[in-house]
Amino acid sequence: MEESEKSNFLFKDWNNIKTQDSWQIFKIMSEFVEGFERLSKIGPCVSIFGSARTKPENKYYKIAEELAYQLTLNKYGVITGGGGGIMEAANKGANRGGGKSVGLNIQLPFEQQANKFIDKDKIIHFDYFFVRKVMFIKYAQGFVVLPGGFGTLDEMFEALTLIQTHKSGNFPVILIGKKFWKGLLKWINEMLLEEEGNISPEDMDLIKIVESTNEAVDHINDFYKKYHLKPNF
């Protein structure tokens, strides 16, 4: 066991806990304030999610780059987690298209530093996942999710839960890669919906699965046209 892990099990008296928690509150508040102040100025954006481990030769890396490029041509900026893999590809595509390229970076084992394709004035560093996720959702006009791991799934289900419970306005949630996502969607439909009744049939309509970047961009544009809405900002 690492020393950092051992420290989690050491006895701490009330004064230590109280002092640590008090300073933690200020740190959390500062991250919210910085995020709100800086992201409120960026204009309409789409958040793109996926694995930090995806290599440049992987087809989903190329898809993410092209997707971001097409989004910038449709006047959207791009928000990512700021790391490598899919996030790097998306920032790279936004950069290529001359659009806004935003990175919400966090220190993780596989994301040691922010990628070089983020606009220098649009990179924000976070220590807390939950603050970072608020920023992803609050300032995005849509979510596009490419193959990823636990973090990607966490971000996707967070968005779906907020829309389902009306804690957030409705916005497009798009999954790219039918082969990758079909097993999960089959399980959701068969187990959560049909067998256990843990979700409603209309909840399945919150998810759109596509195969190409053109389909994803068209779905976002059609969503706002259908409801006679304009993206925020």
DSSP 45-76: EEEEE--TT--TTSHHHHHHHHHHHHHHHTT-
Question: Would 87 be classed as within a structural domain?
Answer: yes
Strand partners, 108: 111
Collapsed DSSP state (helix, strand, coil) of residue 119: coil
Contact 213, 181 (CB under 8 A): no
Question: Would 176 be classed as within a structural domain?
Answer: yes
The pLDDT, as a whole number, for residue 233 is 42
Backbone φ and ψ for 78, nearest 5 degrees, come out as -125, 135
The pLDDT, as a whole number, for residue 18 is 59
Residue 112 has a CB neighbour count (10 Å cut-off) of 11
Tokens describing residue 184: 């999960």
List the domain range (segments joined by +) for residue 157. 13-225
Question: Would 177 be classed as within a structural domain?
Answer: yes
Question: Would 148 be classed as within a structural domain?
Answer: yes
Q: Which residues contact 217 (CB under 8 A, 6 or more apart)?
A: 67, 70, 71, 74
Question: Would 204 be classed as within a structural domain?
Answer: yes
What is the pTM assigned to this prediction? 0.88
How far apart, in whole angstroms, are the C-alpha atoms of residue 185 and residue 58? Answer: 23
The pLDDT, as a whole number, for residue 10 is 58
Backbone φ and ψ for 101, nearest 5 degrees, come out as -125, 105
Q: What CATH number does residue 201 fall under?
A: 3.40.50.450
Question: Would 185 be classed as within a structural domain?
Answer: yes
Query: Which residue in this structure is represented by tokens 């916005």?
Result: 171
- The angle formed by the CA atoms of residues 33, 36 and 39, to the nearest 5 degrees, is 140
The pLDDT, as a whole number, for residue 99 is 95
Give the residue from 144, 65, 139, 142 showing the smallest Cα distance to 99: 65
Question: pLDDT below 70 — which residues of the chain?
Answer: 1-19, 109-112, 227-233
Question: Would 6 be classed as within a structural domain?
Answer: no
Helix crossing, 14-39 with 129-138: angle to 10°?
A: 20
How far apart, in whole angstroms, are the C-alpha atoms of residue 203 and residue 221? Answer: 21
Instruction: Give the pLDDT confidence of 166-211 residue by residue, as tens digits.
Output: 999 899 999 999 999 999 999 999 999 999 999 999 999 999 999 9
Question: Would 97 be classed as within a structural domain?
Answer: yes
**Number of domains present in the structure of the chain:** 1
